[in-house]
Amino acid sequence: MTFAELSIFFQKLEATPSRNAMTEILAELFTKAGREEIGKLCYLLQGRVAPLYEPIEFGVGDKLMIRAIAKAYGVEDEIVKRAFGKLGDLGAAAEHISNQESRIRNQGKNRTIDNVYQRLVEITGMGGEGSQEGKIEALAELLGSLDALSVRYFVRIPLDKLRLGFSDMTILDALSWMLAGDKTQRERLEEVYNIRPDIGLLATQIKERGIAGLSHVKAVVGAPILASLCQRLPTADEMIKKMGEVAVEGKYDGVRVQIHYSKIAREQNSKIERVKTFSRNLENTTEMFPELQEVGKQLNAHDVILDSEAVGMDPATGKLIPFQETSTRKRKHDIQASLLKVPLKFFVFDILYKDGKDLLSTPLSERRKILEETIKEGDRGGMLVIAPQIVTDSPERIRSYHDEQIKKGLEGAVVKKWHSPYEPGRRGYSWVKFKEEEGKIGKLTDTIDAVVMGYYRGEGKRAGFGIGAFLVGVRKGEDFVTITKIGTGVTDEMWKSLKTAFSRQSSGIRPKQYPEVPKMLEPDVWIEPKIVVEIAGDDLTKSSTHGAGVAVRFPRLVRIRTDKSPAQATSVEEIKKMYREQGGNRN
């Protein structure tokens, strides 16, 4: 398939607001695509050249792209800048110039998807001295060989501006549609995706072998497995009723780290060790934890995947350090400094894979035994610590263990069904969190993970930040509906971080994922659904304005959750449940 043919699909996808229509357009595209190109297509559709979890970047900003466009069409940078200023989008600007300058270049319509994809991969590989010029050269050459419509979409890919309004989940629907003409295969596809979230690999296997191809998609060390998530239940009695015998562990307030380790024997005494880590939103975080390169010393295994929570520990007092300080490692240059200041402990609570065997369907009771055989804790305690736990069927014991954790300064307890498999990505009732923060979060049984949808320009004190308040929403399928505006209870420090995050994700038009925002709530600036914030409030009240059906009373920003993806935000169903649990038919 040529890139020009693909661009006609891009255009159709861009024009349709309906998710069902998008699914059908994608299914048509996948049916047309060849076996060797469908995987690449799946990445390109989302402006990437690899699965989500590969830390691959184009390193192409507006400035560089302007130069590439100018070079491709033999015009001054100023001409491109002017078109960009007028049209507000470099893709449209390049298309416009390409149309005007078409007489001086060959109207290429024959570049294949494969060819464009390969060139983009090459661009991601360019680094070091002279790489800027190399990128301009490569981009200009490609631009010069594409027709005007292709140029519009091509330009947006390395700029991370393709934004067609769907994620891997809609692609799964479309793959089901391709196979069965409906969404009946979606659940099965998602199950496999949760174990190996590589949409390109999945699509290729299906195209080759039909639904049977799914049995070829397996967990491997080096590719993340979706993290198991916690459900909420209000009381310990309900937990025992629903789950039977349970393990209860402390809830550590740190960052989730999935640790992948493999030891490759080369010759007799020489071995190579590989360590990678992933966050709960599938980001490759290996660079954040350089100390883990030594993790092999504590492991009885050739290859292993561990699930853990990393928490800072004060070396002098042995006390755990709260999340905010642990997370200073988010910035690369801080890592070396904080390595010394805040040594981390990795509280390991699960093992998902060991020595060639996937343990996902093995019951937790068995996995715990394997975990205990795998980690060598040593006398003085290394960086890996097996998370302590108790096993019980008594609600009273859950409550007392929870209280002990709170006294130790932990966030609460996590209660896990003792004989359950590991459920990647699911919010089933295998794991339930027990957080009691009366007073701190009011009548709400928990905080809410919401997605920032847009902001309103500021007045008064906050005008300095240019933001007066922002609009947040909760998940409804793949879309988002509003739940509250937040303008107070935000520290200056937080406004600064928000401003930086907002400037990267602002959008001139309302993103497709927000189909139902009422006029009176429309923000001044829309924000792409990328930023997750944790909010607390006094309670939930019924609302006819907000799409969630309820609103948060006295909302406060707790923190920006860089470790969560919008797909992991709180859903409308969960909000409705929280509303019922606060015991109120208030208002």
Would you name the residues annotated as active-site residues? 251
In this chain, which of 3, 9, 177, 252 binds ligand AMP, going by CB under 6 A? 252
Task: From residue 164, give the alpha-carbon distance in Å to each of 118, 156, 471.
Answer: 22, 11, 22
Q: How far is the CB of 192 from ligand AMP (least distance, A)?
A: 22
In this chain, which of 156, 186, 196, 280 binds ligand AMP, going by CB under 6 A? 280
Q: How far is the CB of 280 from ligand AMP (least distance, A)?
A: 5
Instruction: Establish if 495 lies at the interface with ligand AMP (CB under 6 A).
Output: no
In this chain, which of 164, 414, 483, 552 binds ligand AMP, going by CB under 6 A? 414
Taken in order 182, 183, 184, 185, is the CA torsion positive or negative? positive
Q: How far is the CB of 368 from ligand AMP (least distance, A)?
A: 12
Instruction: Establish if 345 lies at the interface with ligand AMP (CB under 6 A).
Output: no
Coil, strand, or helix at residue 196? coil
Contact by Cβ (8 Å): 484, 551 = yes
In this chain, which of 153, 154, 177, 349 binds ligand AMP, going by CB under 6 A? 349
Instruction: Establish if 309 lies at the interface with ligand AMP (CB under 6 A).
Output: yes
Residue 309's DSSP bridge partners are 256, 347
DSSP state of 112: B
Instruction: Establish if 230 lies at the interface with ligand AMP (CB under 6 A).
Output: yes
Task: From residue 173, give the alpha-carbon distance in Å to each of 8, 30, 32, 177.
Answer: 21, 12, 16, 6
> Which of 539, 563 has the CB closer to ligand AMP?
563
CA 68 to chain centre: 31
Residue 265's DSSP bridge partners are 271
Instruction: Establish if 367 lies at the interface with ligand AMP (CB under 6 A).
Output: no
In this chain, which of 433, 443, 457, 577 binds ligand AMP, going by CB under 6 A? 433
Stretch that binds ligand AMP, among 114-122, 245-253, 317-325, 467-475 (CB under 6 A): 245-253
- Number of residues interacting with ligand AMP: please give it, by CB under 6 A: 12
Stretch that binds ligand AMP, among 79-87, 190-198, 218-226, 248-256 (CB under 6 A): 248-256
Instruction: Establish if 251 lies at the interface with ligand AMP (CB under 6 A).
Output: yes
Instruction: Please provide the DSSP assignment of 486-525 as one string.
Output: E-SS--HHHHHHHHHHHHHHEESS--TT-TT--GGG--SE
Q: How far is the CB of 576 from ligand AMP (least distance, A)?
A: 18
Instruction: Establish if 387 lies at the interface with ligand AMP (CB under 6 A).
Output: yes
Instruction: Establish if 475 lies at the interface with ligand AMP (CB under 6 A).
Output: no
Instruction: Establish if 263 lies at the interface with ligand AMP (CB under 6 A).
Output: no
Structure tokens of 256? 């989730």
Instruction: Please provide the DSSP assignment of 338-370 as one string.
Output: HHHHS-EEEEEEEEEEETTEE-TTS-HHHHHHH
Instruction: Please provide the DSSP assignment of 37-73 as one string.
Output: THHHHHHHTTT-SS-TTS-------HHHHHHHHHHHH
Q: How far is the CB of 279 from ligand AMP (least distance, A)?
A: 9
Task: From residue 137, give the alpha-carbon distance in Å to each of 64, 110, 144, 461.
Answer: 10, 20, 11, 47
Stretch that binds ligand AMP, among 244-252, 265-273, 324-332, 501-509 (CB under 6 A): 244-252
Task: Determine the Cα–Cα distance for residues 561 and 567; give it in Å rounded to an integer.
Answer: 13
Residues that bind ligand AMP (CB under 6 A): 227, 230, 249, 251-252, 256, 280, 309, 349, 387, 414, 433
